[in-house]
Structure 1
Amino acid sequence: MQLSKLVIGAALALAGLLPVSSHAAGSKITVTDITGRQVEVRAPAEKVILGEGRQMYFVAALDTDQPFRRVVGWRDDLQKADLDGYNDYLARYPQIGKIPTFGGFKEGTFDVEQAVSLQPDVIILNVEAKTATDDAKLIEKLAKIDIPVVFVDFREKPFENTDPSMRIIGKLFGKEARAEEFIAFRKEQIERVTQTLAQANPARPLVMMERAGGYSDDCCMSFGNENFGKFVEVAGGRNLAASIIPGTFGVVNPEQIIASNPDHVIVTGSNWELYVPGGAWVGVGSGANKAKAREKLAALMKRPAYTGVKAVKDSKVHAVWHQFYNSPYQFVAIQAMAKWLHPELFRDLDPEATMKTLYERFLPVPYKTGYWVSLTDKE
Structure 2
Amino acid sequence: MFRHPLARLLLLGQLALVSWMAQANSPVEVEDVMGRKVSLNLPASRIVLGFYPEDYLAVAGEGGADRLVGMSRGWFVKSRPAIWSLYVAKEPQLAKVPDLGNVQDQSFSIEKTLAVKPDLVILAKWQYEALAPDLPRFEQAGIPVVVVDYNAQTLALHMASTLLLGKVTGQEARAQKMADEYKAKIDTITSRIAAAKRQPPRVYIELGDKGPADYSYTYGKDMWGAMALLAGGDNVAAPFVDRWGPMHPEQLLASKPEVILMAGYESVSSAEAMQVGQDISAQTVLRRLQGFAARPGWSELPAVQQGRLYAVYHGATRSIMDAALIEFMAKALYPDLFQDIDPLATYQDFYRHYLPIRPQGTFMLGIKQGEAN
Same fold (TM over 0.5): yes
Give the whole-Å Cα distance in 2 for the aligned partners of 1:216 and 1:56. 31
Kindly indicate whether residue 30 of structure 2 is the aligned counterpart of residue 31 of structure 1.
yes
Give the whole-Å Cα distance in 1 for the aligned partners of 2:213 and 2:140. 45
Equivalent residue for 1:22? none
**One-letter code aligned to 1:60:** L
Residues 96-151 of structure 1 show CA distances to partners (whole Å, capped at 9, x for unaligned) of 222211222343211222211211111111111233212x3x22111111112211
- Regions of 4+ moved over 6 Å: none
Equivalent residue for 1:259? 254
**One-letter code aligned to 2:79:** A
Equivalent residue for 2:309? 317
The offset of 1:182, in angstroms, is: 0.3
Residues 231-250 of structure 1 show CA distances to partners (whole Å, capped at 9, x for unaligned) of 2222222111122223x223
Equivalent residue for 1:118? 116
TM-score (norm 1): 0.86
- SS of structure 1 residue aligned to 2:275: coil
Give the whole-Å Cα distance in 1 for the aligned partners of 2:233 and 2:154. 18
| 8 A contact 2:228–2:235 mirrored in 1 | yes
Give the whole-Å Cα distance in 2 for the aligned partners of 1:270 and 1:103. 21
Equivalent residue for 2:245? 250
Which of residues 296, 301, 319 is equivalent to 2:293?
A: 301
Equivalent residue for 1:80? 78
Equivalent residue for 1:340? 332
| 8 A contact 2:206–2:217 mirrored in 1 | yes
Cα RMSD over matched residues?
A: 2.0
Equivalent residue for 1:177? 173
Give the whole-Å Cα distance in 2 for the aligned partners of 1:106 and 1:287. 27
| 8 A contact 1:207–1:263 mirrored in 2 | yes
| 8 A contact 1:220–1:254 mirrored in 2 | no
The offset of 1:211, in angstroms, is: 2.5
Residues 43-87 of structure 1 show CA distances to partners (whole Å, capped at 9, x for unaligned) of 1000111112xx211112112223411111111221112223212
Unpaired runs of 5+ in structure 1? 1-24
Residues 304-360 of structure 1 show CA distances to partners (whole Å, capped at 9, x for unaligned) of 363522212222110111123211112111111111112122111111222222122
Which of residues 218, 224, 231 is equivalent to 1:222?
A: 218
- SS of structure 2 residue aligned to 1:250: strand
Give the whole-Å Cα distance in 1 for the aligned partners of 2:106 and 2:260. 35
Aligned length: 347
Equivalent residue for 2:135? 139
Relative to structure 1, is the Cα distance of residues 265 and 213 closer, same or farther in structure 2, using a 3 angstrom cutoff? farther
5 Å-filtered alignment, 1:1-379, equals: 26-52=25-51, 55-75=52-72, 76-134=74-132, 136=133, 138-214=134-210, 218-246=214-242, 248-273=243-268, 276=269, 278-304=270-296, 306-377=298-369, 378-379=372-373
Which structure is larger by alpha-carbon Rg, 1 or 2? Answer: 2
Unpaired runs of 5+ in structure 2? 1-23
Give the whole-Å Cα distance in 2 for the aligned partners of 1:256 and 1:208. 11
The offset of 1:300, in angstroms, is: 2.2
Relative to structure 1, is the Cα distance of residues 279 and 151 closer, same or farther in structure 2, using a 3 angstrom cutoff? farther
| 8 A contact 1:27–1:42 mirrored in 2 | yes
Relative to structure 1, is the Cα distance of residues 215 and 139 closer, same or farther in structure 2, using a 3 angstrom cutoff? farther
**One-letter code aligned to 1:71:** L
